[in-house]
A and B are shown apart, each in its own frame.
Chain A
Amino acid sequence: MTKVTMTINGKPRSGDAEGRTLLSSFLRDELGLTGTHVGCDTSQCGACVVHVNGKAVKSCTMFAAEADGAEVDTIEGQANADGSLNVIQQAFQDYHGLQCGFCTPGMVMSAAALLKENPIPSEAEIRHYLEGNICRCTGYHNIVRAILAASGQDVPAVAAE
C-alpha cells in the first residue's frame, strides 16, 4: 500500500492504494465517491469517465497511483455551488436524457469535456464524441438533444438514423 493524494472536485483527498488499485476503485471504495460507475470490465462502456487534469479519461483504465498529485473532477463536483443541477445535468433532466441512469455520470462528464473543447458542437460531433459512452436505454437521441440544449442551441426533433 502507498498513500495517494489528489485534488478531487477542488478539495485535497488522500487514501491508500495498491499498485493495482484502479482510479475508479479508489474513488468508489476508498473515498466513497460512488457517483462514478463501473459498467464493464473491458474499458468499453464509459460509465466511469472522470476528468484528470481537465481531460476525460476512463477511471477504470488508469491506476490510482498514476493520478497521484492530479486534479480530478467527478460527477459529484458537477452541480452548481448552491447544489442545483448544472446546465448539462439540467438538460439531461429536461430532455429525458436518461432512463435507468447508470451510464449518466459518464455521459455528463464526457459532455462536459466535449463542450469545453467545442462549445457549439453539431449533432454529428456530439454523436462522434460519445463513441466511448454506451447507453442501453435511450437509443442516444435524447442524450444528444440534451447536449445540444446544454450548449444553448435549438433542439430539433432528432430523426432516427
Chain B
Amino acid sequence: MNNFEFVKPSTVEEASAALQSEGAQALGGGQTLLPTMKQRLASPETLVSLTGVEGMVGVSASDGTVTVGGTTTHAQVAAEAASAYPALAALAGQIGDPAVRNRGTIGGSLANNDPAACYPSAALGSGASISTNKRNIAADDYFQGMFETALEEDEIITSVSFPVPEAASYQKFLQPASRFALTGVFVAKFPGGVRVAVTGASNNGVFRWTEAEEALSKEFRADALMDLRINHLNMISDLHGSQEYRAHLVGVMTRRAVESAS
C-alpha cells in the first residue's frame, strides 16, 4: 500500500485537529480500511488512529439506554452488552470472525457505513443516537446512502446510545466468504411502535421498511407480514444474489426476526 504518516493522538481534540489536514483519514480497528488500502482503493496521506483516544471505550447501561464508546470492539460489545441489550450483543458477536471482532470497532463500522455491514441496522433499528465531538445525530438523519453518512471530515464518533427495546432480534443471512450480511434485518419492538431496519439489500445502504413497521406495530406477529412484498427495483444485484432474491430475503429475515425477538 502507499505510505502515509501515522499519528496516534490521546484526546478527541487532538484527533479532530489532525483530521483537518489535507488527505487525513481516521483509523478505527482497521478491519475494513486496511484491506481497502492494500488494494489502493484508499490512500490517505495521514492516518489518525483513534484507538489511543481516552474515554471512548466500553459499554454502559442506565435508564433503558445502552451506550457504547466509539472505539469499543465488536468482541467487547458481544460480551459487555449481553445482559443489557442481548440482540445488540448477538449482532456484534456475528460480525466477521473472532480476530476481526477483537479489532473492529462500532465507530469504524458506522463511519464507513458499508451497505452490507451489520451495525448500521442495529443503530437505525434501535433509533440510536450517534454522538460525535460536535453534536448528537439521530440514526434517522445519520445514514445517507451507500458509504455516505452525516459525518463531516473532522468529525469523530465518540459514542453511540441505543434505547433498549422491549424485544428485538437481528437475523443475518450470511454471505459466507465475506461474512457480511447478504441481507440482514434488525427488528425492535418499542412501547411506541416497531422499527425494522434492513442491511445488505439496498443500493442506498441501510433503510427502514416502513410498511413492515406499520403492520408489526398493529400486530407483532410474523403472520402480519405475510401479504407484504418489498419492491426489488432498488435492491443490490451481484453474483451472490439477484435483486429479486434479496427482496425475498428481506421478507424471510424480517419474519424470522419477529419470531425470534426477545
Chain B CB within 8 A of A84 CB: no
Contact residues in B for A44 (Cβ distance below 8 Å): 177
* Given A20-B1, A20-B3: A58 touches B38 (CB 8 Å cut-off): no
Chain A CB within 8 A of B129 CB: no
Convert A5-29 into 0s and 1s, putting 1 for each residue whose CB lies closer than 8 angstroms to a CB of B: 0000000000000111010000000
* Given A42-B35, A61-B31, A63-B6: A55 touches B102 (CB 8 Å cut-off): yes
Contact residues in A for B37 (Cβ distance below 8 Å): 20
A68 closest partner in B (C-beta):
B8
Q: Are B97 and A131 in contact (CB under 8 A)?
A: yes
Chain A CB within 8 A of B62 CB: no
Contact residues in B for A114 (Cβ distance below 8 Å): 98
**Interchain CB contact (< 8 A) of A58 among B3, B6, B51, B100:** B100
Q: Are B99 and A46 in contact (CB under 8 A)?
A: yes
* Given A41-B38, A55-B75, A61-B30: A131 touches B98 (CB 8 Å cut-off): yes
Tell me how far the C-beta of A1 lies from the nearest C-beta in chain B, rounded to whole angstroms: 10
Secondary structure of the A contact surface, majority rule: mixed
Q: Which residues of chain A in 68-93 are interfacial with respect to chain B, using CB atoms and an 8 Å cutoff? A: 68
Chain A CB within 8 A of B49 CB: yes
* Given A57-B103, A61-B30, A65-B6: A19 touches B98 (CB 8 Å cut-off): no
Convert B1-25 into 0s and 1s, putting 1 for each residue whose CB lies closer than 8 angstroms to a CB of A: 1111110100000000000000000
What is the interface residue range for chain A against chain B?
A: 20 to 34
**Interchain CB contact (< 8 A) of B97 among A41, A63, A132:** A132
* Given A19-B47, A43-B31, A43-B34: A65 touches B8 (CB 8 Å cut-off): yes
Contact residues in A for B8 (Cβ distance below 8 Å): 65-66, 68
* Given A42-B35, A43-B31, A63-B30: A110 touches B99 (CB 8 Å cut-off): yes
Chain B residues bordering chain A, tally (CB within 8 A): 26
B178 closest partner in A (C-beta):
A44
Chain A CB within 8 A of B179 CB: yes
Chain B CB within 8 A of A158 CB: no
Contact residues in A for B31 (Cβ distance below 8 Å): 43, 61
A55 to B35, CA, bound (A): 20
Contact residues in A for B75 (Cβ distance below 8 Å): 55
Q: Which residues of chain A in 119-140 are interfacial with respect to chain B, using CB atoms and an 8 Å cutoff? A: 129, 131-133
**Interchain CB contact (< 8 A) of A18 among B3, B96, B102:** B3
Q: Which of A2, A42, A62 has the most CB of B within 10 A?
A: A62
* Given A55-B75, A110-B98: A61 touches B35 (CB 8 Å cut-off): yes
Tell me how far the C-beta of A6 lies from the nearest C-beta in chain B, rounded to whole angstroms: 14
Q: Which residues of chain B in 165-179 are interfacial with respect to chain A, using CB atoms and an 8 Å cutoff? A: 177, 179
Tell me how far the C-beta of B50 lies from the nearest C-beta in chain A, rounded to whole angstroms: 11
Convert B98-142 into 0s and 1s, putting 1 for each residue whose CB lies closer than 8 angstroms to a CB of A: 111011000000000000000000000000000000000000000
Q: Which of A22, A49, A66, A132 has the most CB of B within 10 A?
A: A66
Q: Are B98 and A66 in contact (CB under 8 A)?
A: no
A69 closest partner in B (C-beta):
B52
**Interchain CB contact (< 8 A) of A132 among B1, B34, B49, B99:** B99
A129 to B2, CA, bound (A): 33
Extra pairs beyond A22-B34, A62-B103, A66-B8 (17, CB < 8 Å): A2-B6, A19-B3, A19-B4, A20-B4, A43-B31, A43-B34, A43-B100, A46-B99, A49-B99, A57-B99, A57-B102, A63-B49, A66-B51, A68-B8, A110-B99, A131-B179, A132-B99
A-B pairs, 9 with minimum CB distance? A132-B97, A19-B6, A55-B102, A131-B97, A65-B6, A19-B4, A43-B35, A61-B34, A58-B99
Task: Pick 9 A–B contacts, CB within 8 A, sort by A.
Answer: A2-B6, A19-B4, A20-B3, A42-B35, A57-B99, A61-B35, A63-B34, A113-B98, A129-B98
